[in-house]
Chain A
Amino acid sequence: MTVQVPMDDASRSYLDRFGELRPRLPGSGLPWLADVRDAGAAAFGETGFPGRKTESWRYTNLASLKKVDFSADADPMPVDQASLPALVYGRESSCRLVFVNGGFRPDLSAIADLPGGATLVSFREALAEWPDLVEQGIQASAPDASDPLAALNAAFMSDGFVLHLKEGVSLEAPVEILAVGTGAAQAPVYHTRNLVIAGRNSRATIVEHHVGLCISSYFSNQVTNFLLEEGALVRHCKVQDESREAFHIAHSTARLGGDAQFDSFAFSLGGALSRNEIHVRLEAPGATCRLNGAYLMKGRQHCDNTTVVDHLSPDTSCRELYKGVLDGEAHGVFQGRITVHPDAQRTDGQQMNRALLLSDKAEMSSKPELEIYADDVKCAHGATAGELDDMALFYLRSRGVPEEAARGLLVEAFLGEVIDGMALAGMRLPLQKNISKWMGDRR
């Protein structure tokens, strides 16, 4: 193993830790995995944590993350069954995997009888029972080597969930993932790796809920790889409600075959610093994706949504809508790149991001990019940032709606466009309640 020593101490300490932990990481007997881990460490070693000079990290500063001495093997504070109901949305789910500080907790989880041809297990178990499947999934979706945090995840990845659907298998009920962050003797870091392998014409909906059960800091470094074969439909809905001191960095990749459809929705309201980065490759005709996000940030919270969509084949389409509300000194970031490759004729790509600023000190940074190398395409992007509509506020108040309630209504209406547009109808009400509560807490 050769690792180039990076410049800063924080990055070096992660590599030192990797050297110590390496023999104890899951799947240590699998040569291909050892190679993946070493390659991840080496890639991270070349750059260390990205700084502002790294283009894709220009608006998200990791200085505060580097200051914390996170532990990769601290024992989590206890979490029991009794503390779970308050954390999950809606009706009792028959299929729920619970993770505490990144580690799978079978005692808290419930896995219903899935239809034949569907497998849902922890990453650790998958490595033990179906290493070939995990290898296939990870190799097929090699994360963008230019992202140092995804590389770090490749080195350390220790648990997560693996969902595999054989051809034609359809899951009626959503699969629920509850990822709980709790305190530990030392602020914990966990590198979660999730894999979703959807065979031809299979269907699944995944609801991920990340929630903090503590007020202290932790670092959740997530990578999720989606592989959608021809005609597969995967809906992914993620709610990020981490502790207000937490760091949540999530990197997702998705590869779509012909007529496959990928829906991603990310709702962010927690964390001191969070980032959702999604890379989608539309590889065959008819592949289509919808990437949507909503966020509510206040205080000094920072939320980054970064999307990279590659149209690699003719007749692919993508719709992106991100909307956020920023209060206090919060900072929102949206970066969206759409690349239409030379043969990708008749690409249809639409991207929009809008931010509502409730305070003079809130800030929004937007960077839409279109790179088009085909001539017969429809592509559009737009970005706005502004305050609440004065006239609408006056109109509501003149009809007797008190000022704060009027603001709340307008904020809910603003985000409503994204929430109503999301595929998973059952999540709309809980999300709307989250918005009302957030507005209520502002007062």
Chain B
Amino acid sequence: MLEIKDLHAAVDGKEILTGLTLSIGPGEIHAIMGPNGSGKSTLSYVLAGRDGYEVTGGEVLLHGESLLEMTPEERAAAGVFLALQYPVEIPGVTNMSFLKHALNGVRVQRGEEELDAAAFLKLVREKTKTLGISDDMLKRAVNVGFSGGEKKRNEILQMSVLEPSLAVLDETDSGLDIDALKVVAEGVNALRGPARSMLVITHYQRLLDYIVPDFVHVLAGGRIVESGDKNLAKELEAKGYAEFVPEAA
């Protein structure tokens, strides 16, 4: 489903990803763990197409189509969703309006009809109910004044509305206490399905107790240095990254 082949990427002329290869099948959940500076966030931004992340080699295919030439909005329409580590605050744009523009943006690009106000409202109501998101949160400006937990739940709400085929979760656990983490993880687990693959990027094993991955990879120095099943995460938790990354203290 997702094929990343020998991916090289640079930021400000400095190479961060140095030949990353990864293959994710339909419905699989892969976790990428790694120390700070190993390239975790760079990988997520390269997949989503953020400006300033320059791909210098390799390729990324989603459903056999190259992602790298696409704009961020085209990637969204193709099924890519990046849940940000630090969701952005947008004063003046309500959450509801944001969701509607996002969903209809994706639909129009796919050649589908835009949803009218009533149909859209019905859809959002269904999604918010399962995530425990209040109407009040929908009326507020995107992420403005949201707690850490609310911001992350909001990301999951966007994901559930857009129904991507590839969800990339960048450090979704950061800034969350254990209760908030459980709520977010439940939301993510509810979205697991045979047609939806996920790439869970995290520094700590803790998140993986709640979102249990099929595969775990260790990212160091800009590429994958070790792969295994969920037990690899436990091993990392016990031993730290030093074994895989001799240069990381």
Contact = CB atoms under 8 A, between A and B. Distances in A.
Interface string B61-102: 000000000011101110011101001111111000110011
B92 A417 contact: yes
Contacts of B71: 397, 403
Given A396-B98, A396-B101, A402 B51 contact: no
Contacts of B81: 398-399
Contacts of A391: 88
B50 interface: yes
Contacts of A328: none
B93 A395 contact: no
A399 B105 contact: yes
Contacts of B128: none
Contacts of B20: none
A383 interface: no
Nearest to A395: B88
A392 interface: yes
A394 interface: yes
Contact of A400 (B50, B51, B92, B102): B102
Contacts of A390: 51
A399 B93 contact: no
Contacts of A416: 92
B185 interface: no
Interface in A382-412: 389-392, 394-403, 405-406, 409-410, 412
B103 interface: yes
A400 B90 contact: no
A401 B93 contact: no
A413 interface: yes
B93 A400 contact: no
A413 B51 contact: no
Contact of B101 (A394, A403, A405, A414): A405
Contacts of B90: 389, 392, 395-396, 410, 413
Nearest to B107: A400
A409 B90 CA distance: 10
Contact of A398 (B48, B91, B103): B48
Q: Interface of chain A, helix or strand or loop or mixed?
A: helix
B75 A398 contact: yes
Contact of B73 (A389, A401, A409): A401
Contacts of B158: 399
Interface residues of B, number: 32
A396 B50 contact: no
A397 B72 contact: yes
A413 B158 CA distance: 20
A394 B105 contact: no
B73 A400 contact: yes
B106 interface: yes
B49 interface: yes
A399 B77 CA distance: 8
A389 B90 CA distance: 9
A410 B90 CA distance: 8
Contacts of B231: none
Given A390-B51, A405-B101, A405-B105, A398 B72 contact: yes
B105 A398 contact: no
B162 A412 contact: no
A425 B98 CA distance: 23
A413 B105 contact: no
Contacts of B87: 395
B109 interface: yes
B88 A392 contact: yes
B86 to A, nearest CB: 9
A401 B92 contact: no
A400 B71 CA distance: 10
Contact of B105 (A389, A395, A402, A417): A402
A414 B93 CA distance: 9
B42 to A, nearest CB: 14
Given A394-B88, A400-B109, A410-B93, 9 more contacts: A392-B88, A397-B49, A397-B72, A399-B81, A400-B106, A409-B98, A409-B101, A413-B141, A417-B92
Interface of B: 48-51, 71-73, 75-77, 80-82, 84, 87-93, 97-98, 101-103, 105-106, 109, 141, 158, 162
Interface of A: 389-392, 394-403, 405-406, 409-410, 412-414, 416-417
